[in-house]
Chain A
Amino acid sequence: MTKINKSLALMAGVAGLAMSAVTATAEMSYPALAPLGEPPIPLDNKMSDAKVELGKILFWDPRIGGDASTACVTCHEPDQGWAFGDSLSRGYPGTVHWRNSQSVINSAYLGQLFWAGSAASLEKQAPSAAKGAVAGNGENDVMETRMAFIPEYVKRFNDVFGTENPLIGDAWAAIAAFERTLIVNDTPVDKYLAGDTSALTEEQVAGMELFNGKAGCIQCHNGAQATDENYYNLGVPPAERWEDDGLAQVTFRYELYAKGVSQDMYRKLKDDPGLYFRTKEPEHMGKFRTPPLRYTLYTAPYMHNGSFWDLREVVEFYNAGGGENDFTDGTMAATKSELIKPLGLSDEEIDQLVAFLEGFSGEELRVEPPVLPPYEALASE
């Protein structure tokens, strides 16, 4: 935690600097949008075809979970943008998840996974999802032992990692390697930024100018990834399901309990405090990491709790100066970002901005689902 706190403090400092710079000069410069390029590959998890193929099978395998019903793909479905098409993700049987499922596409570029950035790598994100009570609810020893009874896994892990039997940590590494192949970096926006001026329509180019100027999107959605990976409270309204769905209320309180908030906060919180869960710093209440924008055409609904169902709704939300939640109005905190203010966009300008955002998505990425290898006995009668 010390380490996390330090790096957050550092980031908060950077954000603070950036904000004072905004007030000082109207024409603050941010890292420009840029073609995405290739994803970074960690030195301790190099890519190989065999590893990627193994990771792909594991991504689809529900035995990597508690009751052998819930695989990675269960909440990251290729035909739902490698995400899940409901406001809150579906969760483990008997539960509902508590946040919107994020797309796996281009997650390879992110330094902070999950909406509050609680995993620093794909290798760490996978076990967190596979083991959480409202996600995979699996246990390391059971998942690892299951793989030892799947001869094809024993062989593949041996080929890739050189172990006698599969190790669960290597499973996360293989899944991460597979996820690093789920790249969409040839969108119309990428092509345009690389010099192909015919890749975007006039309307989209006008939208990009708004993005970089009047609408101010670039203040957070900047650089090649279109995210600064920093944390903000936009005033996204609380999830409606927490108000009227008992199952969601169960999960909401479970998260308060499991994330270790104080007794007082457990009683009072009625909205997802985001980054606060990690740091317990009041100024982090209600803040979530800026999401990247590529592939978003396919990943509705949007925001950490799926409050908005199409991109126009999102743009209209910003145009209205964001919204209100328990962390904007002083109920629990007042951390709304000063960057969020009415934009004064006309209907036509909103259309232009939406058209530009749609240019961030390109073709859908589909793959042939793998065949899952069966269990086999290690012993005969």
Chain B
Amino acid sequence: MDFSGLLKYFVPKERKFYAMFNHAAENTIEASTALVQLFNTPSLDDRRAIGLTIKAIEKKGDEFTNRIFDVLNQSFITPFDREDINELTSTIDDVVDLIYSVSGKVEIYRCTVFSSFMKDMVVVIHEGCLLIKVAVEGLEGTKNKHKVLKACKDINKLESRVDEYYHMAISSLFENEKDPIELIKQKEIIQNIEKIANKIEDVSDVIKTILVKYA
């Protein structure tokens, strides 16, 4: 044990937060899996069913979030700064909320055309959610710092990939789509998928802040 470990040895620990963070992170994976399915399901009825699933997942996410805030309000000892726990919890929740918002728009607009760009984007979103889980899991203990940092870096790469897809998707849309209504629908969906990627990057930024502080 080094000096830093010795200093931390005497400080009381609070471990229950990590399990809750993991649940919230797993929830983003569930939501993004369903989102990938949604974009690859041709039948309208099946899509409606998937939409309901995503709605349920979003609700579950809210419950996780509320639970973390409740526990935070009752805990004197926290694994890291209260503001950071707050920030981490809400950004993870936002990821699920944005996924739900995309699935809602698909339903409301009665979208029927899912371009290959959109499909590629949601697959990358799903990969991003898997990385969130890796990073969040690694927060517990001090040994996983490199693993967490690598996951954060990979998330940044994924975000730039989504950006590229986004630009290609928009330019091909304006080039090929001649029906204005269809163009508006698709543009809205593409933009909202891109927002999810940005939010995933926000999660990785919060995690990096925490790492910097507690290294």
Q: Do A and B come from one complex?
A: no
